[in-house]
Structure 1
Amino acid sequence: MKIESNIFLLPGAFFLLVAFIYGWLTDFSEMVGFPAILLTAGLALMVGIYFKMLERRHGARPEDRHDAEIEELSGDQGFYAPWSWWPLVLAAGAALSFVSLAVGWWLMVPAAIVGLVGLVGWVMEFSTGRFAH
């Protein structure tokens, strides 16, 4: 996780420096650029700090070591739901929400309901027993 954290920490520090230089050059009177660059720095630093915490918690992974072997990463990488229809319902909710931007804001309520049903269904799909649908 060292490489992943540096990918976000270094640009975060760069954007923090650039934000204050930009603010100093504009006398902190420009109300969009300085906060936008500052928020970009905050987002990058937040992700980088999270990856740094994961590095401390889990230690060095095989892909972080130079002496690692390929077979160290073999085995299950996680559980993925086969033949699930819930992502389709979630995608329908997302499509409805994007359509609501063009048609009207009133369509956002049914889109949120469909999206929430799809999200809860997908998350809770296997909570009633092994391979239950």
Structure 2
Amino acid sequence: MIHQVDVRIVAPVRDTEVTDRVADAIHNLFPNAEIEHEPGRLVAEAHSMEALSEQLHEQAILDTARKEFFRRADDEGFAFALKKQAAFKGIINFSVGSPDELGDIEVQMTVHEPDVESFIDHVAPPTEEGTPVDPD
């Protein structure tokens, strides 16, 4: 199945932070992201979530990911926030509730092909007793 998505990643850079470390946090989860420096933040574009999907499988947090993805989903795509400190270590930790003092990495997905639900099923498939199952 062909997946056509646009991923927009925005991460604030506080005065106390090293910009390159914030860029590393983004690249750890989105290795193909093209990052631009803007005043006080980094903005990145990517067209794949394969590395993130692999990490979700490795960390065995597919159910959590699905819940977060569907929580802020609509017909166009979905959004979620990640903790910067965890991302710097290559770990996915969804940010829920109030943002971290350093700010969260905000990810906005626009799904062109297939539909949003099918794409979420691809990135974070449903599970049965913790094991991914084919949604068909």
Q: Name the TM-score class by shorter chain.
A: under 0.3
TM-score, normalised via structure 1 length: 0.21
Pick the structure with more helix per residue: 1
Query: Larger RCO: Structure 1 or Structure 2 (Cα < 8 Å, ≥ 6 residues apart)?
Result: 2
Pick the structure with more strand per residue: 2
Larger Rg: 1
TM-score, normalised via structure 2 length: 0.21
